[in-house]
Amino acid sequence: MSQMRTDPRTVARQIPGLLDDVLPQLTPGLVSHFNSSANRIEVESLNASLLHESKLQRAMLFELGYAVAEQMLLRNEIDWEQAGAVAVSRQRKFYDASIPEHFDGGDKILAEIVARNLVLALGTLSTQNGGVVISNPVVPGFEWISTGTGDFSLGESIVEVKCSSRNFTTADYRQVIVYWLLSYAAALEGRGTEWREVILLNPRTGRIVRFKIDSFIAYTGSGMAKIEILQAFQAVVGSRLQR
């Protein structure tokens, strides 16, 4: 019986220990080091009262903001029905989400603030990189890992969005590194191009962490070359396939 294929986002978030042998130096302490390098842009604060009154799960609220931002990037008027449908679909796919019957006025105000902040941050990054913002870039599949999508990309940079009052976590870094590994494998096989930079973006706080993959590997790879890291990842993925 063939193994069910798993989305890259699920692989990174829900399979414990996947990168422990691949990048053993990816520790909370190192994550704190990279977080300390964050730049910050001025963004609009979320209304605390509206946040307190909202009945939505935070993940759903910010997913709605993400969907609205995608419409803004296309210079479209906000279509709340469509944005809500997109947000619900994504939450159902990746999370055990509580699905709302409707989005009230306060939720829409908060989602629109998140969207404006996200569009502002992506515009700033686009100006710095000189590239075009791509929504939902393809994340290549690999063995039992299915093809998926990331949040955004800019040229050779993959951009992952986390909307939270907190810092980026080890799980956030694991996720983007899995995305890079999949892009690297695809590039070697002639199926795509490798992302060479990671950008973590928080539209709630305006914090942006960006790093070159080569620099990150120098810290986390225990002296291994990129191809050796990919081989280690392939061994872990292959061993799981045999279970």
Give the model confidence (pLDDT) of 167-190 as tens digits.
999 989 999 999 999 999 999 999
pLDDT higher than 50, residue 2: no
Rounded to whole angstroms, the Cα distance separating 55 from 53 reads: 6
CB atoms within 10 A of CB 128: 14
Rounded to whole angstroms, the Cα distance separating 148 from 125 reads: 23
- Please choose, from the candidates 182, 191, 163, the residue with its C-alpha nearest in 3D space to the C-alpha of residue 229: 182
Between helix 213-220 and helix 226-241 the angle, nearest 10°, is 70
Rounded to 10 degrees, the C-alpha dihedral 18/19/24/27 comes to -100
The pLDDT of residue 144 is 84
Rounded to whole angstroms, the Cα distance separating 39 from 182 reads: 27
pLDDT tier, 1 (very low <50, low <70, confident <90, very high otherwise): very low
The pLDDT of residue 211 is 96
The pLDDT of residue 9 is 78
> Considering the entire predicted model, what is its pTM?
0.90
pLDDT, tens digit (0-9, with 9 covering 90-100), for 11-24: 766 665 677 778 88
